[in-house]
Amino acid sequence: MNQKHFLDLKIPLGIVLTIYGIILSIYGLLTPPELYLKSANLNVNLIFGLLMLSLGMIFLLLSFVKKKL
C-alpha cells in the first residue's frame, strides 16, 4: 500500500466485528429460547455472533501478520 495512506482499515474493521461478535455471542448464550420463537427457533444471536467474531479475528490477524513481515 502507498505509504502515504493513512490507516490500515483491517484494524477498525477487525475491532468492530470482534466487539459485535463478543456482545452477540454472550447475549445469545444468556437469552432464553423463547426469544427465538419469532426467528424460527434459531438462536441467530449466537450464530451471527460467532460468525462476526471469527471474521473480526481474521482481520486483526491479517493486519498483525502484515506488520510483523
Partner 1 sequence: MLKANFIDYLIITIYIAVTISVGYFLKKYMKTSEDFFLSGRSLPSWITSLAFISANLGALEIIGMIANSAKYGILTVHFYWIGAIPAMVFLGIFMMPFYYGSRVKSVPEYLKLRFNEATRALNAISFAIMTVLMSGISMYAMALIFEMMLGWSLTESILLSAGVVLIYIFWGGLSSSIYNEVIQFFLIWLGLLPVTFIGLKLTNGLSNLAQKLPDSFIHSWKTLNTASQNPMGIEWLGVVLGLGFVLSFGYWTTDFLVVQRALASENMRSARLTPIIAAFPKMFVPIIVVIPGLIAIAILPELNQNSAETFEYNKTLPLLIAHYVPNGILGLVITALLASFMSGMAGNVTAFNTVWTYDIYASYIKKNMPDSHYLKVGKYTTVIGILISIGTAYIVKFFPNLMDYMQLIFSFFNAPLFATFLLGMFWKKATPWGGFWGLLTGILTAATHYILYKSNILHYASEMAANFYQAWWAWLADFMVTIIVSLFTKKKNENELVGLVYGLHKENLFSEKVKLTKKPEFWGVTALILSIILNIIFW
Binding site for partner 1 (CB under 8 A): 1-2, 4-7, 9, 12-13, 15-17, 19-20, 23-24, 27-28, 31, 35-36, 38-40, 42, 44-45, 47-49, 51-52, 55
**Nearest CA among 16, 7, 9 for reference residue 62:** 9
Q: Minimum CB separation from partner 1 for residue 61, in Å?
A: 16
User: Is residue 50 a contact partner of residue 25, using CB atoms and an 8 Å limit?
Assistant: yes
Reading the block at residue 65, the C-alpha cell is: 501478520
Q: How far is the CB of 64 from partner 1 (least distance, A)?
A: 18
Q: How far is the CB of 62 from partner 1 (least distance, A)?
A: 12
